[in-house]
Amino acid sequence: MTDSISDKIFSIAEEFPLKNALCINEDGWWDFQRLVTSTDLFKIEFIQSGVIEFSLVAIVGDLCNSTISVFLALQSLGATACFLGAEINSTDLDERINNSLAEFIVDPKKETIIHTGFNPTENFTRYKKIALLKKRWPSVVFYTSGTSGKSKGVQLTKRNISSTVLSLLDYLPINESNVVASFSSIYSDFGFYNIILPLCVGSSAVYIDQSTSINLIFLKIIYYKINVIHAFPPLLEKIYEGKAVEKNVFPCMDYICSSGQRMKKSTIEKILNHSPSCELHLGYGLTECKRALSLHPKFISEKPDSVGKPIFGVKAYLVDNQRDQVRKTNTQGELCLVSDQVTCGYFYNDFDTKKIIKKLKFSNEIALFTGDFFTRMMMGFIISYQENLELYL
């Protein structure tokens, strides 16, 4: 895979120019050719507005097909996309814009680009220079919900993003025959990969707002011929308790992916009874390191309480409060992750970065200390003990 996700998607567009690529909310289908054309137009607008490599650009407003074009255009230019969100109040949005230190604000739906007039301080200029030298300047910044304190910008480099895409495709082999539905906005890391991942392999990506009524969700899944679903357990529970499933008019899925919290055993049974050939992937992920652990479908009935094992490209350790490795089974420890997927820290926030990015005493590897506690069972399976909700969101 090339360093740039935009390059990968443009390559797919050359192969499948007229194939359905993207449908967000009520925008209707865009084929890959239209997606590339829209991206090129935004790229021209950005250049004319003064956006250059390493510029910080805040993305706001309602999610639409053009949001993806904006992201791809910024990737092509080497600029940083700061996803600030849509469903937040104006006060929180203003705070995030200020914290992002964005030089430009773009609303893809309104097709407006505003220069903020931001003048970098000496401290920020020094911070940026060091980040660039260490190859830690972000390609994308996602903001945590702030439910346990101040919202923080999780920064991901191009290497982070490319490594995550490779890891996800290793255990979820979607291809051009799949139509993939996401119920999470691209303003979150979960929704971002759910929409971008299909485009990287020639699949079709559909976004459906999770506030949509269950009956309308059924109709959209049937209409768009969706056969892969990415959703959190509460929504899957509603879907598979619905009348369309009971009446057997709901289509069978090829794959269903979920994380964030434990899924009810009854929901797992309903999914597998309805779609016996469906691969159900449950796992653990967080904004600071996308999907890190996954439970292989063949073990779901046998080990329903497990979040699985580390996926390709991820090392998972459990450590005690002295940062020594927990080696015994059935012993609690904090989950630490080592991977190219792991964030290099919070944007312009060294204080909080040092709390989560630390060196492991026993291996000298740089790891993400998740704040989540687990126990390791026989055969390497990991069982959730306690969850740090901030890192899940």
Per-residue pLDDT reduced to its tens digit, 169-185: 888 889 999 999 999 98
**C-alpha R_g of the chain:** 21
Q: Residue 265: which pLDDT band, with cuts at 50, 70 and 90?
A: confident
Across the range 32-45, mean pLDDT stands at: 97
pTM: 0.90
Can you name the residues that pair with 156 across neighbouring β-strands? 140
The yes-or-no verdict on residue 39 having pLDDT over 70 is yes
| Strands 20-24 and 204-207, sheet pairing | parallel
Q: What domains appear along the chain, each with residue ranges and CATH number?
A: 5-119 (3.40.50.980), 160-392 (3.40.50.12780)
For 353-382, the pLDDT digits (tens) are: 999 999 999 999 999 999 999 887 755 667
Q: What pLDDT score was predicted for residue 388?
A: 38
Q: What pLDDT score was predicted for residue 44?
A: 97
Across the range 92-102, mean pLDDT stands at: 84
Q: In sequence order, which ranges of 155-281 are alpha helices (DSSP H)?
A: 158-171, 189-201, 214-223, 233-239, 243-246, 265-274
Across the range 63-82, mean pLDDT stands at: 96
Q: What pLDDT score was predicted for residue 256?
A: 94
The yes-or-no verdict on residue 87 having pLDDT over 70 is no
The pair of structure tokens assigned to 221 is 């899944």
How far is residue 95's CA from residue 169's CA, in Å, rounded to a whole number?
36
pLDDT higher at 88 or 289: 289
Q: Residue 385: which pLDDT band, with cuts at 50, 70 and 90?
A: very low
The yes-or-no verdict on residue 284 having pLDDT over 90 is no
For 186-239, the pLDDT digits (tens) are: 888 889 999 999 999 999 999 999 889 988 999 999 999 999 999 999 999 988
Which run of H or of E encompasses 346? none
Q: Which of 94-98, 175-179, 249-253, 376-380 has the lowest mean pLDDT?
A: 376-380
Residues 44/18, Cβ–Cβ less than 8 Å: no
Q: What pLDDT score was predicted for residue 50?
A: 96
The yes-or-no verdict on residue 147 having pLDDT over 70 is no
Phi/psi-derived region of residue 101, left when phi > 0, alpha when psi is between -120 and 50, beta in every other case: left
pLDDT higher at 88 or 271: 271
How far is residue 309's CA from residue 142's CA, in Å, rounded to a whole number?
26
Q: What pLDDT score was predicted for residue 381?
A: 66
Q: Residue 387: which pLDDT band, with cuts at 50, 70 and 90?
A: very low
pLDDT higher at 246 or 130: 130
Q: Taking the CB of residue 225, how many other CB atoms lie within 10 A of it?
A: 12
Across the range 246-268, mean pLDDT stands at: 83
**Cα-based torsion angle of the residue sequence 50, 68, 3, 31 in order, rounded to the nearest 10 degrees:** -120
Mean pLDDT for the chain?
Answer: 88
Helix axis angle, 32-49 to 65-77, nearest 10° = 60
For 299-347, the pLDDT digits (tens) are: 887 776 788 889 999 999 999 988 899 988 888 899 999 999 999 999 9
